[in-house]
Amino acid sequence: MKNRKSQRGMSLIAVMAVMTIFAVALLAVAPNVIQEVQREKELESIRRGEEVAEAIRQYVNFYQGAKLPKSMDDLLEGLPQGTKKRQIMRASAAIDPLSEDGKWQLVPLDKMKNFAKRVETYNNGMLPSSDNVDRRVSNQAGAFITNLVESPTEEDVTASAEETDEDSFTTSDTPFIGVVSQSKSRSVIAYYGIENHSKWVFTPLFRGAGAARTRIRNNNSSDSNRRIPE
């Protein structure tokens, strides 16, 4: 009887040891799993944001720069094509996976300066012209970016700020040329070298000839650059 009890006791200890090792292994892996889940969510946000930017481009060019969209519904409704509508954006692109309510913040033309400065810094001091957007809009944008004298600081690029670049961003009813997430968290990956969700502006501006490729970077590896379709 003593031997059997001793064996059962040893078996219980062995099981507990295995469970402890398994728990430690899970704790070690958990941060990587969480980071990978966040990374995929950020990638999806970038894909959708770029799709919104492309829809804005088509909308602006269709109206020859005389009209900007005022809501996501304007983009979802599409553009007139005979007696029908030509779709320029999928419904999924209107939802930001990083925002709690799924709504993008709309960025007016006169609130693009900070993002333009970051693009200029990322693009080795050169701000590309917006060759793919109607010149009337490009010329207006130029009025807001001609005095770019200060480059963003490291804190400006990476910090989890309590505020976005501008306080007056809204989610509807304003003419806009770009969108940005409501999330203010520091990101796992970088977009135009920016590691903060609230500073990722998706816009058709500054995408002309000579623009550096848009890449994402895993924070744990400087070699894992990938191209984001523009």
Question: What's the whole-number average pLDDT of the chain?
Answer: 75
pLDDT (mean) for 16-39: 68
Which tokens is 169 given? 């961003």
Which tokens is 3 given? 């031997």
pLDDT digits (tens, 9 = 90+) for 54-74: 999 999 999 988 889 999 999
**Residue type for 88, please?**
I
With tokens 């090792």, the residue in question is: 21
With 0.85 as the threshold, say if the pTM is over it.
no
Assess whether pLDDT exceeds 90 at residue 139: no
What pLDDT is stored for residue 178 in this prediction? 93
In this structure, are residues 69 and 61 in contact, taking their beta carbons and an 8 Å threshold? no
pLDDT range class, residue 150, cuts 50, 70, 90: very low
Of 61, 194, 23, 224, nearest in space to 138 by CA:
61
CA dist., res. 12 & res. 6, Å (int): 10
pLDDT (mean) for 109-119: 84
Of 210, 229, 181, 175, nearest in space to 59 by CA:
175
pLDDT range class, residue 4, cuts 50, 70, 90: low
Which tokens is 215 given? 């890449």
Question: Could you tell me which residues come within 8 angstroms of residue 225 by beta carbon, excluding any fewer than 6 positions away?
Answer: 215, 216, 217
Highest mean pLDDT (candidates 118-122, 158-162, 180-184): 180-184
What is the distance of C-alpha 161 from the center of its chain?
Answer: 16
What pLDDT is stored for residue 65 in this prediction? 83
Assess whether pLDDT exceeds 80 at residue 152: no
CA dist., res. 3 & res. 20, Å (int): 25
Which tokens is 188 given? 């796992």
pLDDT (mean) for 179-198: 90
Of 225, 182, 176, nearest in space to 204 by CA:
176
In this structure, are residues 146 and 117 in contact, taking their beta carbons and an 8 Å threshold? no
pLDDT range class, residue 206, cuts 50, 70, 90: confident
